Amino acid sequence: MRLMIKRSLLLILLLYQALLQGNAQDHSTTLIGTVHLESGPPLPGVIIRIEGTQLGSISNEHGQFEIDGISPGTYTVSCQAMGYAPQSKEVNFILGKAVSLDFYMTESAQQLGEVTVMGKTESTLLRESSKAVTVVDTKEAKLQTADLGEVLNTVSGVNVRRSGGLGSENRFSLNGLTDDQIRFMLDGIPLDIMGYSSGIANVPVNLIERAEIYKGVVPVDLGADALGGAVNLVSNGSSDISQGAVSYQVGSFGTQRVSLEAQRKTNAKGFFVRGSGYYDYAKNNYLVDVEIVGDGGKLHDATVPRFHDSYRSYGLRGTVGLANQKWADEISLEAFANHTARDIQNNNVMSIVYGEVTSQNTNQGALLRYRKEIAKRLRINFASGYTYDQVHFLDTSRYIYTWTGDVVREANGAPRERSPGELGQATDRLIWDHNTYARLSMEYQLGARHLLRASSAPTYVSRSGNERWNEEDETIDPLHEINTLFTWVNGLEHRFNSADEKLENSFFVKHYFQAVRAEEPTSTLGVTRNMDRESNNFGIGNSLRFHLHPRWMLKASYEWATRLPRSGEIFGNGRLILPNLSLKPERSHNANLAIHFSSSQDAHESWKLSLNGFLRGTDQLILLLGNNEVFSYQNVFAARSLGVEFNGSWQSSNKRLQVTANTTVQDFRNQSSKGDFGPYAGDRIPNRPYFFINNSVGYHFPELFTNGGNLHIFLKNRYVHEFYKGWESVGLKKFKAIIPTQFIQHAGATYQMPLKGLQTSLTAEVHNLTNSEVYDFFGVQKPGRAYYLKLTTSF
């Protein structure tokens, strides 16, 4: 493996040497510059031309452009974009001297007949970059009733599986890798320390502008360690406009969801304020099929409602800042607070029911951001913050419950008491984390076609806790120890763009450092032993995009990735999960090869197709192992995930009918012949889907019922092929436990219309249209047919 890495690195370095030599031999004059809005922010997707020649360019996501191969002389340089007044400047080009030129654009209501290319959105620019990324815009999802987990579940290669209804534990899987092997970010900051520690599926979709899903290869600027990729949620908001929205959703199983956001630029000096909030509640009292004890003590099948599965979550965020200052393009201070309370109804296979077990999470934090373009070639982006996060787990009931919600009783009819704790030994546990973090990203324009990017992302976590049950007990409380975890991820990237913009290549290196400072209790009362340790790892990667044709694009990417263990994996939770202070980082070789096709803009119908093959070769995978009493995270085995994804979309010539579809086939297998899982070498990793399909059909009726009215009807389908709960080589096939094949449909309609100057929409949806029995994880039943209404108003 090391020989393969060395050869790959040598090949990449030779390629770079050839590119750099080719660049050194190019003595032509170069034009570089930036396009801004008149108010200051960069403007992407603007066309810059050298009049009288075939030379031109389009500004990138930072508003930058560059044009090479300009012969000496005086030329007119024009700058045009739809919706903006055109500009032109005369420039004298001298051989061997690069020229820097900036444009500041003003909005115009006139249509520019000579402009044939529309400005590109940030999402489009990201899709067309060399990054292995899928971008999910949430514009339509904000009007519909699906939560963010359901939205992401429609992406090829992604599985978002849940242990129940709204607010339940969720497991995000990307190309076979899952849970903490995928990093989740909000505007480039880890999601859990931004206040959403209950999981990505429970983030309010109406507060998110788009989701960026990086498959296997994670860009340097995110500053993240990840084994299988990362998901970066981009929140709504711009410091240059005033806007807002509010939504209210009601539905089956006692569901109520409210979200609101507003932002305002208060004056011409650039001062702005922004705020958002949400409230989610659900009883989750949907019907489940279980076995209950009947007359004579015999088990029989029954369908009962879940009685102890409610979920409540709410949060507030507020931001104040300044934009377009001489000393800062933007500086802001954000504060937030969130609270989540969840009842726990059953264990992970629904074999045991609980009646009083609860879990709560509370967090508060603040974040400072600073962004500045220094000179014309250097940009810095800095963020630093602090988050306090507290988890309260309570299990002190003295009773045993049945699926009917009754307490198990003695023969005389009295409630049956037992030792406290439905899961085992009673607990009233608090665990708190103090999280301090920083993120620094710098970009330097190194020559006409080269960009150098560096990032540094340190994070410091201090964890402690308190077991409040039987505090008078003199035994050591392992939660009292203050354990700390310091991680530091650094990266350096070089990006090259060819003069004709056909080729983009990014080569990067990363360094991962982790330091654990911890004390471990011993068998001697009051005595602990030091378990400090440190680890250093390096990684490399490369991503390439090449336009084979204006409508055909090829992408290839590779990363030798590292994922550092999280604090919960190292320190445990003080009760069922024991600490493992010697846990090692996970490593993986990740590769992607994709080809994309899009039809001509002049075509009557719009087609987009893509085919992506992926490989994940992982080692030292971390799993939670144990028995019915205690668990711990262990480095257990190596695995390989090999698969292919297909995506397709079609839009009719009148733009009214849209059809999308994607399918994923993945083969995720155990590659270890030693250790606890050695007997299962070659088996598929259990309890993970390996074949699934998504498709949707939507039709728009414009100008319906009223001027400006628009009706959108849609149908969404998801197919998941059956898969084993356990190792496939164990036992006879007919006796193996399987998750059956599932085919689920959602249908709905959204009507939009202006109402008293506000854009208002009403959506009605039916989830699980056929009321199919739907299962997840190890067979936990999910909700059946459900009905929802959602009202959204933007201003």
Structural domains of the chain sorted by starting position, each given as residue range(s) with its CATH number in brackets: 2-111 (2.60.40.1120), 124-794 (2.40.170.20)
Q: Which residues contact 773 (CB under 8 A, 6 or more apart)?
A: 289, 740, 781, 784
The pTM is what?
0.84
Q: Which of 67-71, 441-445, 642-646, 687-691 has the lowest mean pLDDT?
A: 67-71
**How would you label 280-300 residue by residue, b for 16+ Cβ within 10 Å and e otherwise?**
bbbbbbbebebeeeeeeeeee
> pLDDT band at residue 4, thresholds of 50, 70 and 90?
very low
CB 207, CB 235: distance < 8 Å: yes
Q: What are the E-state strand segments in 353-501?
A: 358-374, 378-395, 427-445, 450-467, 483-497
pLDDT, tens only, 86-126: 888 888 888 777 888 888 888 764 443 433 444 467 778 88
Residue 42's pLDDT is what?
Answer: 80
Q: Which of 6-20, 91-105, 140-154, 699-713 has the lowest mean pLDDT?
A: 6-20
Query: At residue 438, does pLDDT exceed 90?
Result: yes
pLDDT, tens only, 479-531: 777 889 999 999 999 999 998 889 999 999 999 999 998 876 655 555 566 77
> pLDDT band at residue 11, thresholds of 50, 70 and 90?
very low
Q: Which of 32-41, 147-156, 393-402 has the lowest mean pLDDT?
A: 32-41
pLDDT, tens only, 243-263: 889 999 999 999 999 999 998
Residue 629's pLDDT is what?
Answer: 55
Token couple for 486? 């310091």
Q: Which of 333-347, 408-422, 556-570, 621-635 has the lowest mean pLDDT?
A: 621-635
φ, ψ at 677 (rounded to 5°): -105, 10
Residue 474's pLDDT is what?
Answer: 54
Residue 15's pLDDT is what?
Answer: 43
State the chain's mean pLDDT as an integer: 86
Percent above pLDDT 90 for the chain: 49
Start-to-end Cα distance in the chain: 57
**How would you label 48-68 residue by residue, b for 16+ Cβ within 10 Å and e otherwise?**
bbbeeeebbbbbbbbbbbbbb
Higher pLDDT, 599 or 676: 599
In the block, residue with structure tokens 């994804």: 645
Q: What's the CA gap between 218 and 220, in Å, rounded? A: 7
Query: At residue 696, does pLDDT exceed 80?
Result: yes
Residue 504's pLDDT is what?
Answer: 94
Query: At residue 535, does pLDDT exceed 70?
Result: yes
pLDDT, tens only, 294-309: 776 788 889 999 999 9
Q: Which of 336-350, 491-505, 522-536, 723-737 has the lowest mean pLDDT?
A: 522-536
**Cα within 13 Å of Cα(157), Cβ side:** 30
Please list the residues that pair with 669 across neighbouring strands.
Answer: 640, 684
Query: At residue 185, does pLDDT exceed 70?
Result: yes
pLDDT, tens only, 743-791: 999 999 999 988 877 889 999 999 999 999 888 776 788 999 999 999 9
Question: Mean pLDDT across the stretch 657-675?
Answer: 92
Concatenated DSSP letters of 745-766: EEEEEEEEEEETTEEEEEEEEE
Percent above pLDDT 70 for the chain: 89
Question: Mean pLDDT across the stretch 336-340?
Answer: 96
Query: At residue 668, does pLDDT exceed 90?
Result: yes
> pLDDT band at residue 28, thresholds of 50, 70 and 90?
low
Q: Which of 171-180, 515-524, 544-553 has the lowest mean pLDDT?
A: 515-524
Query: At residue 428, does pLDDT exceed 60?
Result: yes
Q: What's the CA gap between 466 and 432, in Å, rounded? A: 9
Query: At residue 476, does pLDDT exceed 80?
Result: no
In the block, residue with structure tokens 């406290």: 420
User: Which of 237-241, 341-345, 685-689, 777-781 ranks highest by mean pLDDT?
Assistant: 341-345
Q: What's the CA gap between 57 and 499, in Å, rounded? A: 9
Q: What's the CA gap between 17 and 137, in Å, rounded? A: 38
Question: Mean pLDDT across the stretch 455-476?
Answer: 82
Token couple for 411? 């023969």
Question: Mean pLDDT across the stretch 358-376?
Answer: 92
Residue 751's pLDDT is what?
Answer: 95
Token couple for 638? 């190596």
CB 301, CB 312: distance < 8 Å: no
Name the nearest CA neighbour of 158 among 681, 720, 761: 720
User: Which of 50-54, 58-62, 125-129, 576-580 ranks highest by mean pLDDT?
Assistant: 125-129
CB 78, CB 86: distance < 8 Å: yes
